[in-house]
Structure formats: C-alpha cells, structure tokens
Amino acid sequence: MGVIKVGTSSWADQMLLRSGWYPRSVRTPAQRLAWYADRFGLVEVDTSYYAIPTVETAEGWAAASPAGFTFDVKAFSLFTGHPTPVRMLPRDLRPERATGRVTRRDLPAPAYDELWARFRAALAPIASADRAGAVLAQFPPWLGHGEAAKRRIAHVAERCRPWRVGVELRHHSWFTDENVLDTLSFLRAHDLTFVCVDMPQGHASSVPPILTTTTTGLAMIRFHGHSAAWESGDKQERFRYAYRDEELARWADLLVELAGEADELHVLMNNCCGDQAQRDAARLAELLRVPARPSASLR
C-alpha cells in the first residue's frame, strides 16, 4: 500500500484563526505552520490561487515545516482560466488601464511568461527542501470536455513540469458515460493525477466521486462536504459540513483500497468552516492509522 498523507486545504484562513484551534501562544505565521505540521503531514497552499507567493514567503514555509512534510500548491487562478482581479497581479505586470478582472488574453505574452516564472520561483524553495507534493490545477466549472480544453490542461501541466500535477475538473461533461473513459485516458497519457472530489450531488456543478488513479506515483482526493447551501450560500455556508464518524469510517476503507494503486495518496479536507476541516482530518487520519508527525512511525 502506498503512503497516505492527510491534511487540510488551508492552515491560516481567517475562520480557522478565529475558531480557537490554535493556542493563544501560537501567534506568528511561522508558529502556526509549525503547530499545524506537528499534527498533519500534508497541507494545501490555497493562497497561491489568489496571488503568487514571494520567494521569501515560500522559504519561510519550508523553514517552519519539518522534514517529511508536504505542500500541495494550488495554481494561480489566471493560469487555470479564472478571471483574476487585476490588483492580485504584481504591480509591474498589470495591463495598462485594466480594471476589475483580467484573463490571460488581456496580458501580453512576456507578462504571462513572467507570471509563470515567478510562480515557479516560488515553488523552488519548497522543492529544494523536499517538501513539494503537487501543483493543484483546479479548472473552472465552465470548462467543459473537449479538445480545446484538453490542450489548455496540457499547456498548464507543461508549464508546471517537472513537478507533479493534480487536475481537478468541475464540469459534469467530463464524467458522462460517453466521456469519462476518454477523460481518464487523457490524464493517464499526460501523466496527470486525477483529483477525486467528494461534494454535494444533484446540482448542475456536481461531479461524481470517482475513486481511481491516473498515475502510479500519486493519487489525490479533496473533501468538500455536503452542505445543503452548496449553490445558494456564501463561502462559509457552502463548506459548512461536519463529516459523521460513519462517513469517515466508510471513506477510510475506500481510501485504503485507493492507496493500493499508487505510491502516495494525498487526502485533503476542504470543508473549511472554522476548525471543522482540521477536526475531520484528524479523525480520518486516526481511522487510517496515519501518524500525526510526518517522520513518526506507527506504533
């Protein structure tokens, strides 16, 4: 069976900081990451979706985490086709007279290339410290199955190499009876990790939780919860969900099977409302017998 790593899709969002999960004595960003990394061996860097981190920030993450710890880093929103607030771009790369949101077509090629160069530079300290897991490329819910979409995904993946790439698809057309095998074959052909999701079903934006691997090196699954307000609520309401013990126990059995198909399995709780993701991740790690500290061994 492959190595299983369990974590959450953030360690410093404001709802978590207000929840009381961190002791009052844990005040600085470095202290919070060290506290988190003493309890989980994996985390998803969510802030990189909103703005490209500086090299100094990434160096701080590597320094504050122990050997064996792993960062999965979400790709910058502009790279995966999401309209991005122009204020989130570095000042020197913002298009002249641009306001509101911009997309790739609004940037000249040299500026787009420079954004990628800075993103890659930010990943370098994590990789040098042997903390790099995968780049998570989360594509928008309007990107439907098709050849143009495949080319866009392959382009993003090529820009990320040699790092591993996980692909989260959020349009139902990728998983219809007619397309699902083609989708998985495409990911396998490009050595891309299929990111399985557990999420509310029955909505236009729903995709099924297909437990499979498309690379032998890495499998990934993200847990979004099952909020009844998935399509109607704000961010907090959409992810407000507590997994019941029986749900986690059922998933633990399934995840052990999935871990048998890859060298490594990354399990991320994304029901980020207060400290619920951390509590559910801790319980799931217990059921999976995953040690709290990355370097610890099971007793």
- The pLDDT of residue 293 is 64
- The pLDDT of residue 292 is 65
What is the rounded distance in angstroms from the CA atom of residue 26 to the CA atom of residue 118? 30
Is the CB of residue 137 less than 8 Å from the CB of residue 157?
Answer: yes
b/e per residue 269-291 (b: at least 16 CB within 10 A)? bbbbbbbbbbbbbbbbbebbebe
What is the rounded distance in angstroms from the CA atom of residue 225 to the CA atom of residue 241? 5
Question: What token pair was written down for 143?
Answer: 């990107």
C-alpha angle 169-171-172 in degrees, rounded to nearest 5: 115
Q: Which CATH number is correct for 3-288, 2.40.30.110, 3.40.50.300, 3.20.20.410, 3.30.300.30?
A: 3.20.20.410
- The pLDDT of residue 297 is 39
What is the rounded distance in angstroms from the CA atom of residue 37 to the CA atom of residue 64? 9
Span 101-120, pLDDT tens digits: 999 999 999 999 999 999 99
- The pLDDT of residue 296 is 45
Span 152-185, pLDDT tens digits: 999 999 999 999 999 999 999 999 999 999 999 9
What is the rounded distance in angstroms from the CA atom of residue 121 to the CA atom of residue 142? 30
Residue ranges per structural domain of the chain:
3-288
Q: Which residue has the tokens 């999401």?
A: 82
- The pLDDT of residue 295 is 52
C-alpha angle 204-206-211 in degrees, rounded to nearest 5: 155
Nearest Cα residue to 129 out of 217, 73, 54, 66: 66
pLDDT (tens digit, 0 to 9) for every residue of the chain, 299 residues total?
A: 789 999 999 999 988 999 999 999 999 999 999 999 999 999 999 999 999 999 999 999 999 999 999 999 999 999 999 999 999 999 999 998 888 999 999 999 999 999 999 999 999 999 999 999 999 999 999 999 999 999 999 999 999 999 999 999 999 999 999 999 999 999 999 999 999 999 889 877 789 999 999 999 999 999 998 877 767 767 777 777 889 999 999 999 999 999 999 999 999 999 988 899 999 999 999 999 998 665 543 32
Is the CB of residue 42 less than 8 Å from the CB of residue 6?
Answer: yes
